[in-house]
Structure 1
Amino acid sequence: MLLIMVPLATTELGTDSWITSLMEPVMTKAGYAAGWVIVYTSLIMMILRFFAGPIVHKISPLGLLAASSVIAIVGLVFLSKVDSIALIFVAATIYGLGKTFFWPTMLGVVAEQSPRGGALTLNATGGVGMLGVGVVGAVFLGYFQDSAQVAALQDKPAILKQVEEEKTWVFGKYNAVNADAVKELPEAEQAEVTVASETAKKDALFAVAIFPCIMLACYLALIVYFTSQGGYKAEVLVGHGAEDAKFTGGVEGPADA
């Protein structure tokens, strides 16, 4: 579950800045700030989270997470293809629906399956997610964008030769576009690089859909596992469904005699 938090946090938090910059040309042309897309998806999340309880009870936490992963995949792919303001908000609606229940439901699963961990377990899970999006997610997002930008300039070899540079990341070396070198190009060629960059961001956003795909595979595996164990059940420490003596233990004291 800790490992799942890395792609989960990247899907929910890491892509927001990309979506804003990606939608900026279309939104600005229509007279709106690109930030309204994020405000809109955040509003969807806020409203729907008030109704998370009944939904979870109907389809189970893991079922909700699996369904949300599918919706997030569709939303990200849709966002990478849209080019009109109406379709942007349709795609943003799907994406917002997909990521709404990720974080709280995941923490709910952790709380139900590891109740003895208490607040420490929940904080560790959230911490892994935040570290994951910064340390791992950002690296992959950068790689996706840089590689897509170079690919978009392949049909302009003269320009690519002037701006291409080699970078190193955890899995070796790859080629990217040097932003400083782009500034030294003539204005016409800078405009071509800008167009290629916008295309690259869309292609990279499409590639980011691999993260909810990984999550979906993990959730399906967990569903199969719990099904083999008799179904998903919350671990209970005390109460009607628990073996109280197993967790409380101790011996009878003077006050109990």
Structure 2
Amino acid sequence: MCRSVDVRTAVLAKNDGLAAELRAELARRRVTAVNLLSSPGSGKTALLELVLRRARERGQTVAALTADLATENDARRLARSGAPVRQVLTGGLCHLESAQVRALIDDWLPDPTRLLFVENVGNLVCPASYDLGETLRVTLMSVTEGEDKPLKYPTAFGAAHLVVLTKTDIADAVGFDDAAFTTAVERVNPGVEILRTSARTGQGVDTLLDRVLAVAGGVAPHAPLLAAKHLRAHGHDHGPAQDRHHEHDHDHGHGRAPRPTTA
């Protein structure tokens, strides 16, 4: 047991050190990086496509990284916005790490880029523990996922600078209890802002972009990413041991290294 804890601590500490270096490099290049976390099917790709399009309409230099276990579907969808997009195929890993993001930024990120959106692998467990050097962390969930999601995944929601509720256009149809959801978010992340959005109607898209641009303009985000370290230190998340379990589930023994592709 002590050995597994030591290994977990070492893995996360190495990632955190690389993330700090990456954050400094992004700051030097005046890039605001936004890490998007959610479960699969939350609608974050559809929402991000709209945000990218609106950003370009406002004259912002914007790009996106999108990560998945397989297929380049998300990159093709995001590229319709006209923004530069890079797909990362993780080869079975259920999260991105700061070293992967740094390599891609060094190799690909167009200059100048002022806004970089990172669409993490669809998973609220593994990605929550890994700092990617981002400026802003946004956790999303849809109205179809249940009001108690924040209580089930306190690291993902507790370390968010901003919480985004998606698919609000069908909230009444699925019987979503917004008040219960708000209470759950407040329990794990007191004071964090919650945005209600719909990719179908466009609700909240401009507001989300406004929040990102405010941070890019020097307005400090709500909560430090240190919240993630505090939560996992108190046993509220799953670390590398669980990551290896998820990797086994998704990799089926192929053991492939993460592979970036361009859309």
Q: Which protein has the larger Cα radius of gyration, Structure 1 or Structure 2? A: 1
Give the structure-1-normalised TM-score. 0.26
More helix by share: 1
- TM-score, structure 2 normalization: 0.26
